[in-house]
Structure 1
């Protein structure tokens, strides 16, 4: 379980890092779109890329959630014990990070929806 745990949490961190870097670049392009209102093609491309990034974030958070579930409950069929009894502070921090990540995903989905509605009205 430990190698899988490390890989899933690493994927979670890398997915969030990629999304953060993309969103910083997307912010620059969004400012460009505010200044130049006629750029509809790049707005559509940004919405598509936003959806790709949200899928990456969802997959990273879901993989980490599966491992955190195993850490909390274990799996007696394969002799994986619940490790949260021993490492309670670690489990609390990881669970908090997952809750924050899923809340951020919901906000990102709301922003994508608002962008798509705004683009369709123009």
Structure 2
């Protein structure tokens, strides 16, 4: 049974690693430019602190996930990893939320603040950012399932202990 648990955990971690790496690479490579009234405007992820935060968090979670794949499953570090998985899931959620808020303003604008939507001028950037956000959301879902599975595996012996 422990072999199946470790295989499921490893599979979930590999999917999470792929999703966070994809989100990082796609967002970091996102760029587009346009010319309005002979002025050139360039849209890239580094123009927004929220997008930078998204890239940094996904990079950190990718490195963390890769590191956890290298730890033996019988190590005592796995008790700490459950806590660190929770922290990583929270970081992913906060960075996704921040990036999503900026992406929404970029797509729809904010008439109350006088901010115009930019996706009509730089559609390539908006499409790339959308793809990165989708990948980031998949990473959040996978980490959520990973947390549920790890909690179930950790708490089952406690609640199902034979008297």
Q: TM-score range by the shorter chain?
A: 0.7 to 0.9
Structure with bigger RCO (C-alpha 8 Å, 6+ apart): 2
Q: Per residue, is there more strand in 1 or in 2?
A: 2
Query: What do the CA deviations read for 1:58-116 (whole angstroms, capped 9, x no partner)?
Result: 11111000000000010112211000011111111101110111111101110121112
1:20-77 deviation line (CA, Å, top 9, x unaligned): 0111111112xx12xx3xx4x5322111100000100111111000000000010112
More helix by share: 1
Q: Say whether residues 1:117 and 2:152 are aligned partners.
A: yes
In the alignment, structure 1 segments of 5+ residues that lack a partner are: none
Question: What 5-or-longer segments of structure 2 have no aligned partner?
Answer: 1-42, 158-163
TM-score, structure 2 as length reference: 0.65
| Aligned position for 1:82 | 117
Tell me the residue number matched to 1:10.
Answer: 52
Map 1:48-59 onto structure 2 (within 5 A): 48-59=83-94
Normalising by structure 1, what TM-score?
Answer: 0.85
